[in-house]
Amino acid sequence: MATMTIKDIARICGVSISTVSRAINNDPAINEKTRERIMQVVREFNYIPNNSARNLKMAESNTVALIVKGINNPFFQGMFPYFQKELVAAGCDYFLHTISGSADEVYVAEEIAKEKRLKGIILLGGTMDYPDVVLKRIHVPLVLCSVAGFGVNDPNGGSHVSSVSIDDEKEAHKVVSYLCDRGHRQIAMLTGVRGDTNVGMMRLRGYRRALEENGIAYDEDLVAFMDEKNQEYTEANGYQMMTRLLKGRKKFTAVFVIADRMAIGAYKAIYDAGLRIPDDISVVGFDGIELTRYMEPSMTTVIQPVQKMTESSVRLLMDQINGSTERKHLLYEAELHERDSVLDLNAVFPKAELLHA
Amino acid sequence: MATMTIKDIARICGVSISTVSRAINNDPAINEKTRERIMQVVREFNYIPNNSARNLKMAESNTVALIVKGINNPFFQGMFPYFQKELVAAGCDYFLHTISGSADEVYVAEEIAKEKRLKGIILLGGTMDYPDVVLKRIHVPLVLCSVAGFGVNDPNGGSHVSSVSIDDEKEAHKVVSYLCDRGHRQIAMLTGVRGDTNVGMMRLRGYRRALEENGIAYDEDLVAFMDEKNQEYTEANGYQMMTRLLKGRKKFTAVFVIADRMAIGAYKAIYDAGLRIPDDISVVGFDGIELTRYMEPSMTTVIQPVQKMTESSVRLLMDQINGSTERKHLLYEAELHERDSVLDLNAVFPKAELLHA
DNA sequence: CTGAAAGCGCTTACAG
DNA sequence: CTGAAAGCGCTTACAG
């Protein structure tokens, strides 16, 4: 036999399909005995309601979609348990929907919203270069979490959505200032593609500002841009970019890498070049993924405030769902977590430093 | 305005909804001019069809679902690009659906199959302790890929599904034999929970058989079982288990870890204990995730034949979809990939070895 | 507490 | 090539 419908169950139980529907959906207006009898049959025949029919008919579900662009990103993976906790606490059903890096998130969001009668959407990751008019197409409450460059390209961006992220420029500035404070003056960087308009640009900007403030000239030979053809924040890319820098003619004592996974690749490139971390080269990553703790030496990195970000995303979404017309754009402070991958040159050459001054 | 339906488009274009439907679905039986005029309006108003209605009406979709249990597993993540390639090559639409470790995969599979009128399902990961009768509930072609312990608990398991995996017992045996060949005789193991009936058990069995063949007594003090309360193949667990072993009174020169991520944690535990890899302790991982290349030293591990496994999974699914009633259970050979985390004790103590003999 | 009926938004024979 | 109509499998007022 193919697959059961509510009609089959109704026939078997000798009741109407309305009654079966009520039994399944725990409608209070049903006789408990009837309900039990029906549920017995439901179990016996392993009847599963067709969600397409259900979604089609229902006015609104209680479901929120978490749409993730870039499922391979361990930073996002680290957020899932927090989202789960918050969404459940908010009393929502939710599901995770992953989309590829090339997918059109606005289209997908609207498509799923229709299909599932969503109550709201949290979009995690990706970049958001869409003008406001495009964003407006999404007819359900929407929150952008950790979406790179949101609002950057559209000064009016965000009048229809809320967003939560960190201040990339500021955090990069923090990292490089920290390195300067530790006596580093030749500081390399592994960043995104040349001409990046999102994270790469913001973090590069922070890097440059910190250098400037410390009286260090910007030297493009110390910046490795990502290959246009392979725009992934992977170990392989980090390895390859770091190797390129190491083979360059410019010396440096530290490197700031804009993603932890790339920094792991950079670690290996440094080791393969016969150098030590941090003795020869100091490394600072970005994101704060779990793995960085397990590197040798454990990696100093910028830990994004995952808990705050997820909490706020859910809260802002709930506010919208509950009718608030206010849209907020929250920027959280990340934490530069000191571990063992940065050498304090002041401690190594205290005398020399004094002479310099 | 809320959200557009096919009716709105029909009204705007002055045609029937049938015609709009045909335009959208590229029905050949439509006037090209009419089609273009309709599509113009569709684009202008950003009309998106409701998939629930579509799924409800359509007899069968062209879609295959890839249901993944354990999205955090980087081994599975490494498979996605291959699945994508194969599924596209097979001419299928597909989507990734992630479920939590505690979800009932059979229920979810059947639910989605109904909702989306799936053509078939590939289930990736998880364990499959379901008896055949439960599996039979899934009314669409089903292939189990890398599903632990499939058929182990049910001698008749598999008469309704096909499966693709590796021989866990054999691969573990391979690893431990390799270590013995390299002169190791005190070999520890980091495995799953005590009483595991799936991967953990199979790999432990292979470990024991290899020891036995090499005349080495099994010593449970050298085996770290995973905590019942925290059954995850994570770095944190590997770190904690390795630390426990290192603090034990038994000495060992090598450790076999049943998952790469755990092995990364083990690396760190070894370093934190002030020991070196492989000089003091040799490490072998399992799975062959990309990251192992970037560890220092690069990790010797068992690389699962991802490409073959994904290819075969898709092929077996297609066979079923095309009417084949044959069900196959393929076991592929993995590759013990030698890198730098194992010391050859024979090379270090060649004389001693000879004296031993 | 239960049932008959309408209808969610589509697709697809069928007729023209 | 196009339209009217049936129907996918449910939920939910409405009436009783």
Verify if strand C has an atom below 7 Å from the CB of B230: no
* All residues at 6 or more sequence positions from A350 whose CB lies less than 8 Å from its CB, including other chains: none
Contact yes or no for B48 and A98 at CB 8 A: no
Tell me which of A115-119, A144-148, A180-184, B292-296 is least confident.
A144-148
Interface residue A171 vs chain B (CB under 8 A): no
Looking at the predicted structure, is the pLDDT value of residue B195 above 50? yes
Whole-Å CA distances, A77 to A72, A151, A158, B84, B100: 8, 25, 26, 20, 13
Characterize A256-283 residue by residue with b for buried, 16 or more Cβ atoms within 10 angstroms of its Cβ, and e for exposed. bbbbbbbbbbbbbbbbeeeeebbeebbb
**CB within 8 Å: A137 and B46:** yes
Question: Using CA atoms in the order A174, A176, A180, A185, what is the torsion angle rounded to 10 degrees?
Answer: -170
pLDDT in tens, A50-95: 999 999 998 888 999 999 998 888 999 999 999 999 999 999 999 9
With CA atoms as reference, report the closest residue to B111 among A5, A51, A98, A96. A51
Confidence of residue B355 (pLDDT cuts 50, 70, 90): very low
User: So what's the pLDDT on residue A350?
Assistant: 61
- CA of B171 vs chain A CAs: smallest distance (Å): 26
Q: Which helix (H) or strand (E) holds B258?
A: none
Q: Whole-angstrom Cα distance, residue B145 to residue B122? A: 7
B251-272 pLDDT, tens digit each? 999 999 999 999 999 999 999 9
Per-residue pLDDT at B151: 56
Yes or no, beta carbons of B296 and A115 under 8 Å apart = no
Beta-bridge partners for A162: A143
Report CB contact under 8 Å: A48, B114.
Answer: yes
Residue with tokens 């979810």: B108
- pTM attached to this predicted model: 0.91
Query: For the packed helices A17-24 and A6-13, what is the interaxial angle rounded to 10 degrees?
Result: 110
CB neighbourhood size of A197 (10 A): 15
Helix H segments across chain A?
A: 6-13, 17-24, 32-44, 51-57, 74-89, 105-116, 132-135, 168-181, 199-213, 235-247, 260-272, 291-294, 306-321, 345-348, 350-356
Taking CA atoms, B305 is separated from B146, B167, B270, in Å, by: 11, 12, 29
CA distance B303 to A309: 37
What is the structure's pLDDT at B153? Answer: 47
pLDDT digits (tens, 9 = 90+) for B112-162: 999 999 999 999 998 877 777 788 888 899 999 998 766 544 545 556 889
- CA torsion, points A32, A37, A41, A46, in degrees to nearest 10? 20
For range A182-199, the mean pLDDT = 93
A7 touches strand D (CB under 7 A): yes
Q: Least CB-CB distance to A114: which of B48, B71, B293?
A: B48
Q: Does B251 contact strand D, using a CB cutoff of 7 Å?
A: no
- A101 band by pLDDT with thresholds 50, 70 and 90: confident
Per-residue pLDDT tens digits for A281-313: 999 999 999 999 999 999 999 999 999 999 999
Model pLDDT, residue A351: 53
SS3 letters for B331-357? EECCEEECCCCCCCHHHHCHHHHHHHC
The alpha-carbon gap from B262 to the nearest alpha carbon of chain A, in Å, equals 10
Mean pLDDT of chain A: 91
Q: State the Cα angle at B278 between B277 and B284, rounded to 5°.
A: 95
pLDDT at A158: 58
Closest CA–CA distance from residue A265 to any residue of chain B (Å): 6
* Cβ–Cβ under 8 Å, residues B98 and A96: yes
Which one, of B74, B345, B24, lies nearest residue B234 by Cα?
Answer: B74
The answer, yes or no, to whether residue A147 has pLDDT greater than 70, is yes
Report pLDDT digits (tens) over B1-16: 568 999 999 999 999 9
Give tens-digit pLDDT for A254-265: 999 999 999 999
CA B86, chain centre distance (Å):
16
Which of A229, A218, A258, A219 is closest to A242 using CA atoms? Answer: A258
The answer to whether the beta carbons of residues A71 and A80 sit under 8 Å apart is no
Q: Give the residue whose CA sits closest to D13 at C1'.
A: A18
Residues forming a β-bridge with B278: none
- Residues B42 and B35: their CA atoms lie apart, in Å, by 10
Contact A340, A298 (CB under 8 A): yes
Instruction: Look up tokens 């170990």; give the residue.
Output: A235
Dump pLDDT digits (tens) for B278-308.
999 999 999 999 999 999 999 999 999 999 9
pLDDT in the model for residue A335: 98
